[in-house]
Structure formats: structure tokens, C-alpha cells
Amino acid sequence: MRILLVYANSFMDNLIPVGVSLLSACLKKAGHETKLFDTTFYRTREKTGDEARVETLQIRETKLDDYGVHEKKADAVDDFKKLVDDYKPGLIAVSIVETTYFIALNLLNGIKDYDIPKAVGGIHATMAPGEVIKEEAVDIVCVGEGEIALTELADRIDKGTDYSDIPNLWVKNDGKVIENPVGPLVKLDDLPDQDWSIWEKERFYKPMGGKVWICGPIEFDRGCPHQCAFCCNAGLQKLYKQHGFYPRSRSVKKFIDEFKGKQKRYGLNYLFVMSENFFQGNGRFNEFVELYRDIKIPFWVETRPETVTEERLKMLKEVGCEGISMGVEHGNDEYRRKVLNRFVSNDAIIKGFQMAIHSGIRVTANNIVGYPEETRELFFDTVEVNRQIKGAYTMINIFSPHRGTSLWKLAVEKGYIPKDTFAGDYRLDSGIDMPHLSKEAIKGLQRTFRLYVYLPKEMWPEIERAEKFDEEGNKAFERLSKIYMEKYMK
């Protein structure tokens, strides 16, 4: 059977998703045919996330145009309808996150009268299935992992048999919704390698550290053992509690073998190691280092600062690690523990970052501004921590509450967002509006964050003026940006 996969992605966010690639691989392994509609190159908003980060001094400007990566000028809905008419799929399966939900709905509403089953999955569908299944254009919602469920769905549609009892699926049936419980956790080593043949060649170009790489992501493990209040992992752990612990590891050898095959076929010169906490588990880390030693292709990892050691960093550097990303998230110890459910001290954060910076690996520090109950004073605790680790690329995102997280619930309870509000882009949109810290104030703190971190404190009064989006504030920001750029971003 033909299945049309749909990736509702934000404009020019050019990293191939593991999830959709795995779904295609599983469907093909079961004997089905797949095709993809991808919204990445359609202008679904006025500016890209990278453009917003350039404007807030977080990254250097890179031009994907130089690599043949261009915006598609046609209308996405028109192109989607044409593909559906031409391809005539027996099933349409859409992957979404909350920030791209409106993109997916625009597409599906364009074909809502087509007599084709339409399934929606992804983390937003998992965290808010009751909202998604109410949409007229949606017939099926996948809650949790989709590799087994979607393949079973395709098999049954192909055979013309009932599919209303498949685990993980919520199915509309005769005016009612059948809510099936989630099935067992997927065994990662049982999955086929990702299918990247569905993606356009332009999707492999990814800006990183001021350069553009031919890049691909390979799944090292899935899930995170922690339960940060702004993240979906706590919800996933709760969803799958009866089946065991949600975070799982994949065989290091299978990981390496998949990357070697993908590198040879697609000419990759950079690897994204998809792991939310790469340093967990000494044995796996040591095995990775040994098996990767002869590959000699730069790679990026993500971990937590309290897991960093000089020995691990030395080993990573020796085998080609080019970038490492870690979260500060907030610079106040008490706030981080009580509100964010993140149990690590400032001393441990600073020590981990300083070790990583001294290793010579490019280090990124991730921060967030605009949490529920955050004040201007608390924001400057985050600034102070980052001033002590300013050898890192200090990134500043805007908090946007996502369904299924405890901070979404807190934001709703406090009246900082209406319950029906959808999360915005963490690089562009202020997520909540508080009496003591407005949306505009949060955006002003975001755009001046790097100025506060890098420039001398005697310049802070002028930086404060640059927080305002008026004529005086914009002029101050322009002047300070030139000083910052000349010194720190040549």
C-alpha cells in the first residue's frame, strides 16, 4: 500500500528527523511504499529560527542559498493537495510537534473531504490526543511510539480489516472515539536503519558553529531519565510506566554500523549523535570511543554539565567531537530545584562548563528566559552564571509552555496563558505574559542576554535601554551590537 508521510516542520529548520525516517523504514520493511511531503522549505512564518538567533547575537549568519537550499515559492497546501491527487495514498500519516500543529492542520483541512484515513502522531499528539482527535480532518491519533502501531495500521488497511483495536491508536469509529492503551516499548535494536531516501538532498545541509555541514542524525538512545518541568520526558515515563522505564539504549555497534552506511551513501561530513544525555553509562561511552576512533568525522553530542569529566572530554576530543551542548537553563539554585525539577548546583554547572571549554571542543550553553514566576532579578542570576562560563556559545531561548509538562499546567493555573494557547517557537515567540514580566519585557531580555553576559557591567545601563523596542532602545541595541560583534564574533 502507498503511505504518504507528512513532516510538518518550521521554515528552514534543516535537520532530518529520526522519527519520520524510522517510520518510513518500518513501513518499507513491511512491504509498503512511502512518499514524503515536507514543509521545511515553505515560508510558514516571516523569519527562520536561525535568522532570529542572528538578530539576538547568538549565532553567525550562514547562507544556505550558497548550497542550493532555497525557499519554495508555491503554496504548501496547493502542492500538498496535488501530491495527494497524484500519489493516491491509502493512508496519510502526519508527524507534529506543538509549534508546528497549525501547519499540519492547514494541510489536512485542505483535504478533509478526501476519503483517505488521516493519522496524526508525534509528541504533541501524544501529550494532547483528546484535542487532536477532535479535529474534523483527523481520523486517527497515535499516542506514544509509532513504529509498530503505524505499520500494523497500514497492514490492516491494506487487507481491509478493522484497525480500531490497535495499541497506541485513538480511532474515530461510528461517531465515537476508541482510546486504545499504549503497547510495549519498542526495542531499539529491532528497528531497521532510518530511511533517508525520502528526503530531498538539500535537507542534509545544516548550519553549525558558523559553518554549513552535510549532516545527519543517528539515534544513540531514546528518552531521558530526568524529569525537568519544561520537558516531555516526565510525561512519556508516566505514559509507559506499566511497560517499564521509557529511556532505552541502542547497541553501540548498530549505531556505528548505521552511521558508516549513511556516511558512505550520503557523503556526510558531520554527525548528530541523538542522545539527550550522552555521558550516561560509562561502558557504552567507552565502547563508542573505541568504535568511532577510526571514523574521523566531526560530531556533536548533548549531555548535562554534572556528567562531565576531564577524562571523558579528552577521549571525545581525540575521536573528533566538534561540539557539545549542555543546559544551564536557569542560574538560580533554588528556582532550578523547586520550579524546574533540575537538581544540580551552580558550582557543578560552572565546573562542568569550564572543563568542557578548556578541552578545546566548541561548547554551547543553553538557557531559557520567561519561565512562570521568573522575575527580572532571577534572570540576572542566569546572566551571572553565564558570565563565568562565557567561553561557551551562550544560547538564550524563550520559555514556551508545552502540553504534557508541569510548567504548562502551572502557567495555565496562574493565568499566564489561556488553556487553548499553542506553544510558540522558542527562538522567536514570548510564550507567557505575567504581570511582573510581560511578553515584551521577556523578548527584550532575550535580545540583550549576550550583551549582559559579555560586555562590562559599567555598560549595563545602556544595555537596559536596549531592551526596549522603541527608537531609543533600537539605537542602543544597534550600537552595542557593533561593539559585541567586533570583539566576540569576528
Give the pLDDT of residue 360.
95
In the chain, domain spans: 2-179, 220-454
The percent of residues in the chain predicted with pLDDT above 70, rounded, is 99
Q: Judging by beta carbons within 10 Å of its beta carbon (0-12, 13-18, 19+), is residue 221 exposed, middle or buried? A: buried
Give the pLDDT of residue 282.
64
Residue 281, pLDDT above cutoff 70: no
How far apart are alpha carbons 319 and 292 in whole angstroms? 7
Residues 363, 393: contact at Cβ < 8 Å?
yes
- CA separation, residue 181 to residues 155, 171, 432 (Å): 19, 12, 33
Helix H, strand E, coil C: the string for 322-345 is EEEEEEEECCCHHHHHHCCCCCCC
Average the pLDDT over 314-332 and give the result: 97
Residues 346, 386: contact at Cβ < 8 Å?
no
Question: How do residues 260-277 score in pLDDT, each as one tens digit?
Answer: 999 999 999 999 999 999
Which DSSP letter does residue 118 get? Answer: E
Beta bridge partners of 42: 72
Average the pLDDT over 103-120 and give the result: 97
Handedness of CA 196, 276, 351, 426 (dihedral sign): positive
Handedness of CA 405, 275, 67, 52 (dihedral sign): positive
Average the pLDDT over 1-13 and give the result: 97
Residue 340, pLDDT above cutoff 70: yes
Question: How do residues 248-261 score in pLDDT, each as one tens digit?
Answer: 999 999 999 999 99
How far apart are alpha carbons 3 and 392 in whole angstroms? 44
Average the pLDDT over 99-111 and give the result: 97
Superfamily for domain range 220-454: Aldolase class I (3.20.20.70)
Q: Judging by beta carbons within 10 Å of its beta carbon (0-12, 13-18, 19+), is residue 160 exposed, middle or buried? A: exposed
- Average pLDDT over the chain reads 96
Question: How do residues 123-132 score in pLDDT, each as one tens digit?
Answer: 999 999 999 9
Give the pLDDT of residue 92.
98
Q: 210 versus 282: which is more confidently predicted?
A: 210
Confidence band of 390 (pLDDT split at 50, 70, 90): confident
Q: Indicate the fold that domain 2-179 takes in CATH.
A: Rossmann fold (3.40.50)
How far apart are alpha carbons 347 and 250 in whole angstroms? 32
Question: How do residues 209-234 score in pLDDT, each as one tens digit?
Answer: 788 999 999 999 999 999 999 999 99
Average the pLDDT over 143-162 and give the result: 98
Average the pLDDT over 417-429 and give the result: 90
How far apart are alpha carbons 49 and 62 in whole angstroms? 12
Cell triple for 455: 560586555
